[in-house]
Amino acid sequence: MQLQRSHVSIVRSIRQVSLARDWIRARGGKALPNIASFEPNERAGDALDLSIFRIAVAGDTAVYVCLKAGDRVRAIHGEAMTGRALHDYLSPPMAEAATPIWNACVAMRLPVYSIIALNDPESRPVTIEQIYLPYSRSDAEPDFIVTSLHAWSTEGRFVSDGLMRVQGGAPTHWAVALDPAMTHMPKSAPVAGASVAAEDISWADDA
């Protein structure tokens, strides 16, 4: 999947904007920032919403294995994540919908921002915003992806536990690549071949 490129201003979460700008600064003139440069902002409580994945290669396929996940991330997924691959803790439809976005992050060597709209168990509308940040050991090839997850609802409160354990088919995943070379935000963000208006759209180990 080759995603449309956008300016970082398309991101709505202030903390995710900060993470994206930190990634850009850490990259500098290199192909990718080194994972050693990444440090969660403890004062801002970032670690609760962060997870870090190792990129393992099996033949021609990239496998994303969770090394750490924050408490809010685990609660929303409703599954233990540490030591497990993406396909092991996401339902098959969700894994199928999410994997091309992860692969685009690796192939494009750029942060990716995605939006998923779904309903909680009490039928409240919930929007999940995620940012995927590729990091390297050697500043060249992607070896890790750091992700941040932010969930919110127009209803104010919502049930977060197991929110991503979607039954049946997966909701549509909107995604754009965040390109530091972009100087403005496009009017729309792509969604797997379609478009949606942008306006519509301490580390804790698993037990």
CATH no. of 5-184: 3.30.450.20
Whether residue 37 contacts residue 139, with contact meaning beta carbons closer than 8 Å, is answered with no
Q: What's the whole-number mean pLDDT along residues 69-93?
A: 94
Give the separation between CA 194 and CA 46, rounded to whole angstroms.
31
pLDDT at 202: 28
Q: Delimit the domains of the chain by residue range.
A: 5-184
- Count of Cβ atoms closer than 10 Å to residue 157 Cβ: 9
8 A C-beta contact, residue 145 and residue 53: yes
Q: What percent of the chain has pLDDT over 90?
A: 66
Per-residue pLDDT tens over the stretch 56-80 = 987 788 999 999 999 999 999 999 9
65-70-45-52 Cα dihedral, nearest 10 degrees: 0
pLDDT above 90 (res 7): yes
Q: Is pLDDT at 156 greater than 90 in this prediction?
A: no
Q: What is the pTM of this model?
A: 0.86
